[in-house]
């Protein structure tokens, strides 16, 4: 069994890999890369050569290519100690045209060209754009850079290599003196003033100051040791990882009494547990100097709302539960009263939900809700639980219909089986036959879908969240597609693909628990 | 035993009521005859027996006339009144008061002064065309590949992996990337909806084929030496007809629904479709006096999909030979 599941998991992961590869081909190779600038307001302000170099720099950020300006190459040589500061200053400036280069510059330019062309890069030199005899036009500075498109394998490799990172004490640059590196365990978390009992593991030299800690927020135990990097967003949520975009709480600040490491106590929203290392931040900012004793100063703030994933999950899980509570009993009654009035009414409902575009009945629910005075938009500031009502109803309508439809179908198929006829001839009551025998057999395919329903509650629903302005995860993919935010698209797709692989496997396990006849090992058969 | 014999004349029966001696013909006795049975005639007989089906069919006819023939008479021009602000966002009552009672004004006027009724049917025409073309392409490819997929174990192994992988690529992404690569035109949309759309149909058909393939009568047929092609065409295809028609019934409305969905999230095509009308008029939903602009396309999309679905389901039921008794 374990071996079989392991094999399934492995095959699932391979298919996830291929899915990510396909998506990368779709968005990096097939789509015109100039499209990423469609929302960019900076590009239109750039002129001449500056426009070209800006584009290449952006494409590097979006992950299309490697881009190395000449100056970076020279600086690297300087840092490696191959040239001294004087040579660097001499050669870093190159002529407006290739023939204007001094001999020493021409030598380094040739070196640069040779070095990168041997590695498959394309070296581009743009001559200065002149305005009149002496003056360089706006943005017309000469440019020299090497560029190379990333290959699919290269891109996939880097992506999966950086997917999971484990924090370690060598994260901070080894050359910096930050005191003794290491992990310390404490029973009394200093973030609570150092008196309250609360175990924590803290690090020095790591990215996060707190690696493991407890707090009052669900699930109470938190860790920063292992971080998942699905891809840094560019336009949807600038500079923030997709995983953080989905899991960080939203809303307005919640302030409370905070005891900073320096002992200063203040009413603030800073979450000290989220402190990450920021080089020289205490030197640069006197406020940081007042609050902190080391360079772990980069904190996020407490907010009163849930995360995107949180909102989607709450809505999804409640509506799924509601769907099972209503759909299953109604489906059973429909099967029992086949071709009677109840069955007909149920069938009309099913036809309505299947045939009518989901947009139409969601709007219908919204209009009815508006008519009876329920809140129709989601408001992060509102404490009212009523605003959850309409999205939940809208989400559960189609799930109820599909549960009713399939359960009725499966039960009617079972009703003609021999074991049912036998049970009836043996004198069991109709109630017993339906609840103890038919249901047990008919529910098996439904049970298979339960893990999927729970896991996919996290991904949210696109239309429902849009109609009710829910700040959930459902719109992330469409937003990212509209904004050409490639790394978010890849990250979200990876997240979906992993969920679907896991949910199918969990469904199979659950099915084999519910129905002992189903076995995944060939020996047991 | 002799006293038990009855004289036939005593019973007073006519010649027809009594047994008669028949001549024996060796050739005649080899013939097997059954009542005349025509499959499609029976399908239509069962279909028209239900009154509801006739109502649905009439509705379908009305929809087709309004969507395909009416626009060529109405002379609809979306932007004819765009400069005249007094014609915009009119309720039916106001429009009728302004222009007099005619069919163009019964649902009022929209945001650019166009008749809501005309623009609704104009959108419906494109939506229905898209659904029909996509369904035709997907069903053809899906059924053919699904049949091969179900029959061959080798193809099954490959196709299952393809299905698992392609199923995990969000179809919104595929459609939007294709729309961005090409132009957001009608035929791009058809291509985007069919490039992966056939796979789900093929998978469904594959499962059905596998269920029927291994039944005893096919095993017997195979043992008697029937070729695979003949088994597929003569033994399995008749079984599949009702399944395919039922599937078609839910496919056509689903394309209208997905087109509405895609337009709503801003990834639709440039033509004005029902989805686009709904998307554009969303703000009008809760604005007093403007509701008709929003609810008309929503209602007509629902009516079209329900009519198509019910008609298809009834036809699917009727095409199941078990209902022909």
The pLDDT, as a whole number, for residue A393 is 92
Confidence at A317, pLDDT banded by 50, 70, 90: very high
Q: Who among B164, B253, B266 is closest to A355 (CB)?
A: B253
The pLDDT, as a whole number, for residue B139 is 93
- Mean pLDDT, residues B49-73: 88
Q: Who among B173, B260, B261 is closest to A481 (CB)?
A: B173
Confidence at A320, pLDDT banded by 50, 70, 90: very high
Confidence at B3, pLDDT banded by 50, 70, 90: low
Distance (Å, whole) CA B293 – CA B276: 12
Is a pLDDT exceeding 50 seen at residue A525?
no
Distance (Å, whole) CA B325 – CA B323: 6
Distance (Å, whole) CA A486 – CA A480: 7
The residue in chain B having the minimum alpha-carbon distance to the alpha carbon of residue A347 is B310
Rg value, chain A, Cα: 30
Confidence at A319, pLDDT banded by 50, 70, 90: very high
The torsion of the CA quartet A127, A130, A135, A136, rounded to 10 degrees, works out to -50
CA distance B165 to chain A (A): 6
Three-class SS of chain B: CHHHCCCHHHHCCCCCCCCCCCCCCHHHHCCCCCCCCCHHHHHHHHHHHCHHHHHHHHHHHHHHHHHHHHHHHHCCCCCCCCCCHHHCCECHHHHHHHHCCCHHHCCCECCCCCEHHHHHHHHHHHHHHHHHHHHHHHHHHHHHHHHHHHHCHHHHHHHHHHHHHHHHCCHHHHHHHHHHHCCCCHHHHHHHHHHCHHHHHHHHHHHHHHHHHCCHHHHHHHHCCCCHHHHHHHHHHHHHHHHHHHHHHHHHHHHHHHHHHHHHCCCCCCCCCHHHHHHHCHHHCCCCCCHHHHHHHHHHHHHHHHHHHHHHHHHHHHCCHHHHC
Q: Phi-psi region for residue B113, left (φ > 0), alpha (ψ -120 to 50) or beta? A: left
Distance (Å, whole) CA B41 – CA B39: 6
**Pairing state between β A143-149 and A65-69:** antiparallel
Q: Is the Cβ pair B168, A15 closer than 8 Å?
A: yes
Tokens of A24: 């990368």
> Best of A10, A30, A359, A459 to disrupt the B interface by mutation (most B CBs within 10 Å)?
A359
Q: Which residues of A111-146 are buried (b: 16+ CB within 10 A; e: fewer)?
A: ebbeebeeeebebeebbbbeeeeeebeebbebbbbb
Task: Classify the C-alpha dihedral A335-A340-A345-A347 as positive or negative.
Answer: positive
Is a pLDDT exceeding 80 seen at residue A454?
yes
Contacts of A31 in chain B (CB under 8 A): 177, 180-181
> Best of A356, A402, A486 to disrupt the B interface by mutation (most B CBs within 10 Å)?
A356
Cα-based angle A452, A453, A456 (whole degrees, multiple of 5): 75
Distance (Å, whole) CA B294 – CA A94: 63
Confidence at B141, pLDDT banded by 50, 70, 90: very high
Is a pLDDT exceeding 70 seen at residue A396?
yes
pLDDT in tens, B160-199: 888 888 888 888 888 888 887 887 888 988 998 898 889 9
User: Which segment, A292-306, A408-422, B122-136, is predicted with the most confidence on average?
Assistant: B122-136
Return the minimum-mean-pLDDT range out of A146-160, A206-220, A441-455, B42-56. A206-220
Q: Who among B170, B285, B309 is closest to A477 (CB)?
A: B170
Q: Who among A351, A359, A477 is closest to B309 (CB)?
A: A351
Interface of A with B (CB under 8 A): 15-16, 18-19, 22-23, 26-27, 30-32, 35, 351-352, 354-360, 363-364, 366-367, 370, 376, 462-463, 466, 477-478, 481-482, 489, 493, 496-497, 500-501
pTM: predicted TM-score of the whole model, two decimal places? 0.82
The pLDDT, as a whole number, for residue B246 is 83
The pLDDT, as a whole number, for residue B1 is 52
Three-state DSSP state, A397:
helix
Q: Confirm if A305 and A247 have CB atoms less than 8 A apart.
A: no
Q: Confirm if A334 and A408 have CB atoms less than 8 A apart.
A: yes
Which residue from A400, A405, A412, A490 is spatially nearest to A453, judged by alpha carbons? A400
Percent of chain B, pLDDT > 90?
A: 11
Confidence at A521, pLDDT banded by 50, 70, 90: low
pLDDT in tens, A133-181: 777 787 778 888 888 888 888 888 888 888 888 888 887 777 777 777 8
The pLDDT, as a whole number, for residue A524 is 43
Q: Who among A26, A30, A360 is closest to B302 (CB)?
A: A360
DSSP H/E element including A53: helix A48-62
CA distance B305 to chain A (A): 5
Return the minimum-mean-pLDDT range out of A207-216, B3-12, B210-219. B3-12
Q: Who among B161, B181, B261 is closest to A357 (CB)?
A: B261
- Mean pLDDT, residues A118-129: 84
Q: Who among A19, A359, A466 is closest to B169 (CB)?
A: A19
Q: Is the Cβ pair B301, A357 closer than 8 Å?
A: yes
The pLDDT, as a whole number, for residue B110 is 72
Q: Is the Cβ pair A22, B253 closer than 8 Å?
A: no
Return the minimum-mean-pLDDT range out of A28-32, A228-232, B83-87, B118-122. B83-87
Which residue from B304, B248, B295 is spatially nearest to B128, judged by alpha carbons? B304
Q: How many CA atoms lie within 13 A of A522 on its CB side?
A: 0
The pLDDT, as a whole number, for residue B36 is 78
Contacts of B174 in chain A (CB under 8 A): 26
CA distance A326 to chain B (A): 24
Confidence at A403, pLDDT banded by 50, 70, 90: very high
Q: Is the Cβ pair A477, B173 closer than 8 Å?
A: yes
Is a pLDDT exceeding 80 seen at residue B321?
no
Q: Is the Cβ pair A360, B181 closer than 8 Å?
A: no
Contacts of B170 in chain A (CB under 8 A): 477, 493, 496
The residue in chain B having the minimum alpha-carbon distance to the alpha carbon of residue A477 is B173
Tokens of A78: 């300087």
Q: Is the Cβ pair B301, A360 closer than 8 Å?
A: yes
Is a pLDDT exceeding 80 seen at residue B310?
yes
Distance (Å, whole) CA B217 – CA B215: 6
Q: How many CA atoms lie within 13 A of A214 on its CB side?
A: 10
The residue in chain A having the minimum alpha-carbon distance to the alpha carbon of residue B309 is A355
A342 vs B214, more confident: A342
A394 vs B233, more confident: A394
Tokens of A502: 């896991």
DSSP H/E element including A54: helix A48-62
Q: Who among A27, A351, A500 is closest to B168 (CB)?
A: A500
Q: Which residues of A451-471 are buried (b: 16+ CB within 10 A; e: fewer)?
A: bbbbbbbbbbbbbbbbbbebb
Confidence at B311, pLDDT banded by 50, 70, 90: confident
- Mean pLDDT, residues A55-63: 84
pLDDT in tens, B246-275: 888 888 888 888 888 888 887 778 888 888
Is a pLDDT exceeding 60 seen at residue A286?
yes
Is a pLDDT exceeding 70 seen at residue A520?
no
The pLDDT, as a whole number, for residue B38 is 83
Percent of chain A, pLDDT > 70?
A: 99
The torsion of the CA quartet B298, B300, B303, B308, rounded to 10 degrees, works out to -110
CA distance A524 to chain B (A): 24
Confidence at B137, pLDDT banded by 50, 70, 90: very high
The pLDDT, as a whole number, for residue A345 is 94
Number of CB pairs, chain A paired with chain B, less than 8 A apart: 111
Query: Phi/psi at B209 (nearest 5 deg)?
Result: -60, -45
The torsion of the CA quartet A162, A164, A169, A170, rounded to 10 degrees, works out to -10
A212 vs B102, more confident: A212
Q: Who among A30, A357, A477 is closest to B305 (CB)?
A: A357
Cα distance from N-terminal residue to C-terminal residue, chain A: 12
Q: Is the Cβ pair B177, A462 closer than 8 Å?
A: no
The pLDDT, as a whole number, for residue A321 is 94
CA distance B7 to chain A (A): 50
- Mean pLDDT, residues A84-105: 80
Average pLDDT over chain B, rounded to whole? 82
Tokens of A312: 């989607």
Distance (Å, whole) CA A203 – CA B178: 48
Average pLDDT over chain A, rounded to whole? 84
The pLDDT, as a whole number, for residue A87 is 81
DSSP A188: B
Percent of chain A, pLDDT > 90?
A: 9
Confidence at B232, pLDDT banded by 50, 70, 90: confident
Burial of A60 (0-12, 13-18, 19+ CB in 10 A): middle
């Amino acid at each position: 069994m374990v071996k079989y599941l392991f094999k399934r998991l492995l095959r699932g992961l391979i298919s996830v890999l291929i899915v990510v590869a396909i998506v990368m081909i779709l968005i990096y190779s097939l789509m015109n890369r100039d499209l990423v600038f469609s929302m960019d307001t900076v590009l239109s302000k750039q002129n001449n050569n500056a426009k070209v170099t800006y584009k290449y720099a952006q494409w590097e950020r979006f992950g299309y290519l490697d881009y190395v300006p000449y100056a970076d190459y020279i600086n690297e040589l300087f840092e490696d100690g191959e040239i001294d500061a004087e040579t660097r200053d001499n050669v870093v400036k190159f002529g407006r045209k290739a023939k204007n280069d001094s001999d020493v510059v021409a030598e380094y330019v040739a070196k640069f060209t040779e070095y990168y062309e041997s590695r498959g890069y394309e070296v581009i030199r743009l001559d200065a754009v002149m305005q009149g005899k002496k003056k360089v036009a706006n943005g017309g500075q000469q440019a020299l850079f090497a560029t190379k498109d990333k290959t699919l394998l290269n891109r996939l490799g880097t992506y999966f290599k950086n997917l999971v990172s484990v924090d370690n004490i060598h994260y901070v640059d080894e050359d910096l003196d930050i005191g003794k590196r290491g992990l310390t365990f404490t029973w009394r978390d200093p973030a609570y003033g150092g008196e309250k009992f609360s175990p924590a593991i803290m690090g020095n030299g790591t990215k996060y100051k707190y690696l493991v800690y407890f707090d009052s927020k669900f699930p109470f135990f938190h860790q920063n040791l292992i971080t998942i990097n699905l891809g840094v967003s560019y336009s949807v949520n600038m500079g923030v990882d997709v995983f953080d975009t989905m899991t960080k709480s939203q809303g307005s600040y919640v302030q409370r009494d905070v005891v900073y490491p320096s002992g200063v106590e203040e009413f603030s929203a800073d979450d000290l547990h989220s402190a990450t290392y920021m080089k020289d931040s205490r030197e640069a900012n006197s406020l940081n100097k007042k609050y902190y004793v080391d360079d772990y100063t980069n904190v996020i703030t407490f907010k009163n709302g849930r995360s995107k994933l949180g909102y989607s999950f709450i809505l999804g899980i409640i509506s799924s539960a509601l769907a099972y509570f209503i759909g299953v009993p109604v489906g059973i009654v429909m099967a029992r009263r086949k071709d009677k009035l109840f069955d007909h009414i149920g069938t009309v409902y099913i036809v309505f939900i299947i045939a009518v575009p989901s947009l139409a009945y969601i709007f219908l629910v919204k209009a009815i809700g508006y008519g009876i005075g329920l809140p129709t938009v989601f408001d992060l500031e509102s404490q009212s639980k009523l605003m959850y009502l309409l999205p939940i109803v809208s989400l559960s309508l189609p799930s109820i219909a599909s549960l009713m439809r399939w359960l009725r179908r499966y039960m009617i198929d079972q009703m003609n089986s021999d074991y049912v006829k036998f049970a009836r001839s043996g004198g069991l009551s109709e109630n017993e036959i339906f609840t103890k025998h038919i249901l047990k057999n008919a529910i098996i395919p439904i049970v298979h879908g339960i893990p999927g329903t729970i896991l996919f509650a996290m991904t949210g629903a696109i239309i429902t969240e849009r109609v009710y302005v829910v700040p959930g995860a459902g719109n992330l993919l469409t937003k990212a597609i509209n904004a050409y935010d490639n790394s978010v698209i890849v990250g979200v797709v990876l997240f979906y693909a992993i969920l679907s692989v896991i949910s199918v496997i969990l469904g199979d396990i659950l099915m084999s628990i519910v129905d002992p006849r189903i076995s995944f090992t060939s020996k047991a058969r | 035993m002799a006293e038990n014999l009855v004289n036939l004349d005593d019973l007073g029966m006519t010649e027809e009521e009594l047994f008669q001696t028949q001549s024996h013909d060796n050739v005649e006795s080899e013939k097997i005859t059954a009542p005349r049975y025509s499959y499609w005639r029976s399908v239509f007989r069962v279909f028209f027996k239900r009154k509801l089906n006739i109502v649905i069919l009439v509705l379908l006819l009305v929809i087709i006339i309004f969507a395909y023939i009416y626009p060529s008479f109405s002379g609809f021009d979306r932007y004819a009144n765009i400069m005249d602000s007094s014609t915009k966002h009119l309720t039916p009552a106001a429009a009728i008061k302004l222009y007099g009672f005619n069919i163009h004004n019964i649902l009022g006027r929209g945001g650019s002064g166009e008749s809501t009724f005309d623009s609704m049917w104009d959108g419906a025409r494109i939506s229905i065309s898209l659904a029909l073309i996509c369904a035709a392409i997907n069903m053809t490819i899906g059924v053919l590949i699904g049949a091969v997929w179900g029959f061959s174990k080798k193809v099954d192994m490959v196709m299952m992996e393809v299905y698992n992988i392609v199923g995990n690529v969000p179809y919104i992404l595929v459609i939007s990337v294709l729309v961005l690569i090409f132009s957001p035109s009608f035929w791009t949309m058809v291509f985007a909806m069919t490039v992966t759309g056939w796979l789900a149909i093929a998978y469904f058909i594959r499962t059905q084929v596998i269920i029927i393939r291994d039944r005893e009568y096919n095993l017997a047929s195979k043992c008697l030496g029937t070729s695979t092609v003949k088994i597929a065409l003569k033994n399995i295809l008749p079984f599949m007809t009702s399944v395919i028609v039922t599937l078609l019934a839910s496919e056509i409305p689903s394309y209208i629904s997905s087109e509405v969905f895609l337009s709503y999230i801003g990834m639709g095509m440039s033509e004005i479709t029902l989805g686009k009308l709904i998307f554009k008029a969303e703000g009008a939903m809760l604005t007093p006096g403007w509701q008709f602009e929003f609810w008309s396309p929503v209602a007509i999309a629902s009516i079209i999909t329900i009519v198509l679905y019910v008609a298809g389901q009834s036809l699917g039921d009727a095409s199941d030979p078990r209902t022909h008794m």
